[in-house]
Amino acid sequence: MKYELVIGLETHVELATDSKLFCSCGGHAAADEPNDCVCPACAGMPGMLPVTNRHAIELAVKAGFMLNCKINKYTTFDKKSYYYPDLPAAYQITQWFHPICVEGSVQIGDRTIGIKQIHVEEDAGKLVHDDATNTSLVDYNRTSVPLIEIVTKPDFRSSDEVITYLKKLKAALQFAGISECEEGAMRCDVNISVRPEGSDQFGIRSEIKNMSSFAEIKDAIEFEKVRHVDAIERHTEMLVQETRRWDEAKRRTFPMRNKETAADYRYFPDPNLMPIVIDDEWLEEIRTSMPATAEEKGQKYVDMGIAEKEAAVLASDAKLCAVFDEVVSLGREPKSVASWILTECMSRMHYLGIETLSIAPAKLARIIELVDTSEITRNAGKKVLAAVFEKDVDVDKYCEEQGLNAKVDSAVIEATVDRIIADNPQAVADYKGGKVKAMQALFGLIMRELKGVGDPAVIRSLLESKLNA
């Protein structure tokens, strides 16, 4: 029998606000040391009261617009109670009764993925286990960092669809400035079951918790598919509805022994936070502040003369776009900029194992300017780029120190060519005797002497004409 996967996703995304959800502490990024970024409010101390961060609400509404949701004009915060040391007040403020966005959808190719809801909630802290002293320590830097949880309907039928959705979601969230989606800032719970193809029943579901890498998510889904089908067809195990975790080292999922999942969370409306009423005026204000989507951005690049494929790659990544836009705005030619970002920068990133482009646009612009105006050669430009990536050097200073200026005195070049010819009579004789390779050796010596300065094509033809003279 053929089986199909039925998958629903719950994706937690950290919102790009300057402060936490209910107090004025900076986001977790502001902290260097554990418990650096904590106040009585986000430490849940008695006497504190939460005050809602308006920007977080606006970002959640933007996410709702992006995912074609209905925005609830009346939305509430509710308390979810459970005991765990990473939750200092023993309750999490979330949205249970009236989530901010509902009933949305995303298009993945020709398939439509339903969005059940988006709700705003605060993150919990982090436990650090110290084996040496057999103690557990708590870090509250993350407590009350604002998150949205985007819940889809069980509409995915393959791991590829899931990954396509996540990539699209990530790019869109970055674009709209909703989340920076840095490493680990996007976490997924995957609800998965299988059923005979064509059935409209749901199978027994397992939930794989808290994954952040797309590769892991894909592997976990594929693993679960095999496990479920084996259980059904070959009775390898009895399927139960349960929560599991992906073990990257063992490359399989394991059931979680987690009391939390069996808990009764005792949800109730938080009396300290008035219901939020989003009126038409505020809604319009948020709508008009929405930046271009990835698609719109890609189209804009095509209109600038960039090939469709290249434009699509650029538009898929907010960081690439940001650098591109900035460098172009500094007066560089779009096609040239696209080529530098997509070939030279990306190959450097690949070489260094970096996932997100971080380069000062002004430096990249200067390198491109020097190359485009033939101040330095393209090869020299690559060399500078590498140095900028690795040591963040000053472009002009580096060119000077390394003698990369292509416009060296032609007299110097000629003198060098003459000297090398004079110093190597044997090689010259070999060349004249028909050994073409001997010229390559001479050329190499000249280039070494000139330290890579000067246009190689010009030098080569100069050498050739002198040898054949």
Report the DSSP beta bridge partners of residue 79: 93, 268
Size of residue set near another protein by CB under 8 A: 30
Task: For residues 354 and 183, give the distance between their C-alpha atoms in angstroms, rounded to a whole number.
Answer: 11
Cβ 24 to another protein shortest distance, Å:
10
Q: Is 51 or 354 the residue whose CB approaches another protein more closely?
A: 51
Q: Nearest-CA neighbor of 377 among 276, 458, 306?
A: 458
For residue 20, the 8-state DSSP code is: -
Q: Is 22 or 340 the residue whose CB approaches another protein more closely?
A: 22
The span of 75-83, 326-334, 371-379, 428-436 binding another protein (CB under 8 A) equals 75-83
Residue 27 in the binding site for another protein (CB under 8 A): no
Window 105-144: residues binding another protein (CB under 8 A)? 136, 138
Binding mask 236-275 for another protein (x = CB under 8 A): ----------------------------x-xxxx-xxxx-
Window 326-385: residues binding another protein (CB under 8 A)? none
Which one of residues 18, 30, 54, 85 is an interface residue with another protein (CB under 8 A)? 85
Q: What number of other Cβ atoms are within 10 A of residue 451's Cβ?
A: 11
Q: Is 48 or 108 the residue whose CB approaches another protein more closely?
A: 48
Q: Is 196 or 275 the residue whose CB approaches another protein more closely?
A: 275
Q: Is 79 or 225 the residue whose CB approaches another protein more closely?
A: 79
Cβ 47 to another protein shortest distance, Å:
4
Binding mask 270-309 for another protein (x = CB under 8 A): -xxxx-----------------------------------
Whole-number Cα distances in Å, 468 to 67, 243, 412, 416, 418:
70, 79, 21, 17, 13
Cβ 297 to another protein shortest distance, Å:
38
Cβ 75 to another protein shortest distance, Å:
14
Classified as helix, coil or strand, 121 is strand
Cβ 45 to another protein shortest distance, Å:
7
Give kind and range of the element (H or E) at residue 113: strand 111-122
Cβ 39 to another protein shortest distance, Å:
9
Q: Is 271 or 425 the residue whose CB approaches another protein more closely?
A: 271
Q: Which long-range contacts (CB under 8 A, 24 or more apart) does 155-158 make?
A: 155/7, 155/8, 155/111, 155/112, 155/113, 155/114, 156/5, 156/6, 156/7, 156/8, 156/9, 156/113, 157/4, 157/5, 157/6, 157/7, 157/111, 158/5
For residue 82, the 8-state DSSP code is: -
What's phi and psi for 72, nearest 5 deg? -75, 120
Between β-strands 186-196 and 78-81, what pairing exists: parallel, antiparallel or unpaired? unpaired
Task: For residues 57 and 116, give the distance between their C-alpha atoms in angstroms, rounded to a whole number.
Answer: 18
Window 33-62: residues binding another protein (CB under 8 A)? 40, 43-52
| Sequence-distant (≥ 6) Cβ neighbours of residue 305 within 8 angstroms | 334, 335
Which one of residues 57, 89, 176, 315 is an interface residue with another protein (CB under 8 A)? 89
Q: Is 90 or 412 the residue whose CB approaches another protein more closely?
A: 90
Window 414-443: residues binding another protein (CB under 8 A)? none
Cβ 262 to another protein shortest distance, Å:
11
Q: Is 128 or 274 the residue whose CB approaches another protein more closely?
A: 274
Which one of residues 19, 28, 91, 155 is an interface residue with another protein (CB under 8 A)? 91
Are 216 and 224 contacting, i.e. CB atoms less than 8 angstroms apart? no
Cβ 312 to another protein shortest distance, Å:
45
Give kind and range of the element (H or E) at residue 350: helix 346-352
Per-residue burial over 371-380, b = 16 or more CB atoms within 10 Å of its CB, e = otherwise: beeebbbeeb
What's phi and psi for 305, nearest 5 deg? 100, 10
Backbone φ/ψ region at 392: left (φ over 0), alpha (ψ -120 to 50), beta: left
Q: What number of other Cβ atoms are within 10 A of residue 461's Cβ?
A: 11
Q: Nearest-CA neighbor of 80 among 266, 258, 262?
A: 266
The span of 83-91, 232-240, 385-393, 452-460 binding another protein (CB under 8 A) equals 83-91
The span of 86-94, 331-339, 350-358, 397-405 binding another protein (CB under 8 A) equals 86-94
Positions that interact with another protein (CB under 8 A): 40, 43-52, 79, 81, 83, 85, 88-91, 136, 138, 264, 266-269, 271-274
